[in-house]
């Protein structure tokens, strides 16, 4: 079982993958490309909490077998979102990192169940959660196995999907002592904003980023506007590594 300190040994932490697993071919192909780019952790969401019931809900349990094959072939670590207590058992042989999405940050019964599992958990902030509420969620899961993920908050500004709250990320990192990663994809809501927000994130001193990547973003079944291509990710990683080394040079 991978421990939190093992994940954090290799910084900046870069987690990448599509918004959602869509098919065996799609996730298999992107996984190989991401591995070639040096990514070690694949975001592989099988279940998707969606705003409306007619939108793509994820491939569900059938994707577990696909992920097992990818893991055996590539050695990538698998991070996957848990939306229901039953999912925890379903992914027990394949997921290295469990994930709590923004909409479930205050699903306390779910948090309690995830808290019983020993695996590392990525915990996103709720859309309008304050620091105290985000911390409370981490306490349900267990402070020592959580990686906090800032994913943007609702603000008065309607030109963007969300507003990246670097302040909160830094409070969690420096005042509260958590490892922190930032999700520039959901903060931005549009692909052109993802690299600059990722650069700002790394420049702020957090431990890493999680980015949505799709080989054919316009065809994506969810979050088509914000997914970047592997080609964009490649140059983004090069710059991220440069920024990280400048920020942490002494
Ligand atoms: C996700 O990362 O897959 C996602 C749905 O984002 P969030 O929970 O931050 O909205
Ligand atoms: Mn998404």
Q: What is the tens place of the pLDDT at every residue in 193-223?
A: 999 999 999 999 999 999 999 999 999 999 9
- The predicted model scores a pTM of 0.97
**For position 161, what pLDDT does the model report?**
81
CB 104 within 8 Å of CB 121 = no
Which token pair is 224?
């088509």
What's the 210 CA to ligand 1 centre distance in angstroms?
Answer: 10
Question: Which residues contact residue 173 at a Cβ distance below 8 angstroms, ignoring those fewer than 6 apart?
Answer: 148, 179, 180, 205, 206, 207
* Sign, CA torsion 69/73/75/80: negative
Helices 194-204 and 230-247 cross at an angle (nearest 10°) of: 20
Atom of ligand 1 nearest to the CA of 20: 3
Of all ligands present, the nearest one to the C-alpha of 161 is 1
Question: Which residues contact residue 246 at a Cβ distance below 8 angstroms, ignoring those fewer than 6 apart?
Answer: none
Q: What is the tens place of the pLDDT at every residue in 16-57?
A: 999 999 999 999 999 999 999 999 999 999 999 999 999 999
Ligand 1 neighbour 186 (Cβ under 6 A): yes
Q: What is the tens place of the pLDDT at every residue in 233-242?
A: 999 999 999 9
**For position 159, what pLDDT does the model report?**
62
Ligand 1 neighbour 43 (Cβ under 6 A): no
* Residue 67: pLDDT over 70: yes
Ligand 1 neighbour 124 (Cβ under 6 A): yes
Helices 24-36 and 63-74 cross at an angle (nearest 10°) of: 30
Atom of ligand 1 nearest to the CA of 81: 3
What's the 181 CA to ligand 2 centre distance in angstroms?
Answer: 16
**For position 250, what pLDDT does the model report?**
77
């Amino acid at each position: 079982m991978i421990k939190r300190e093992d994940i954090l040994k290799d910084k900046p932490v870069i987690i990448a993958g599509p918004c959602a697993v869509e098919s065996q071919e799609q996730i298999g192909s992107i996984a190989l490309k991401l591995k070639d780019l040096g990514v070690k952790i694949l975001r592989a969401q099988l279940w998707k909490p969606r705003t409306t019931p007619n939108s793509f809900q994820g491939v569900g349990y059938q994707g577990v077998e696909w992920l097992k094959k990818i893991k055996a072939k590539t050695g990538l670590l698998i991070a996957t979102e848990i939306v229901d207590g039953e999912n925890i058992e379903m992914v027990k042989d394949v997921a290295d990192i469990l994930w709590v999405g923004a909409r479930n940050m205050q699903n306390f019964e779910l948090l309690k169940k995830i808290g019983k599992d020993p695996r590392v958990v990525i915990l996103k902030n709720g859309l309008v959660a304050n620091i105290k509420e985000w911390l409370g969620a981490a306490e349900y899961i267990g402070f020592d196995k959580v990686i906090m993920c800032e994913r943007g908050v609702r603000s008065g500004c309607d030109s963007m999907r969300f507003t990246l709250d670097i302040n909160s990320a830094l409070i969690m990192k420096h005042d509260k002592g958590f490892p922190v990663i930032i999700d520039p994809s959901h903060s931005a809501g549009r692909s052109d904003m993802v690299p600059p927000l990722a650069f700002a994130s790394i420049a702020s001193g957090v431990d890493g980023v999680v980015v949505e990547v799709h080989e054919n973003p316009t065809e994506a079944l969810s979050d088509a506007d914000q997914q970047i291509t592997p080609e964009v990710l490649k140059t983004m990683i090069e710059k991220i590594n440069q920024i990280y080394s400048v920020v942490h040079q002494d």
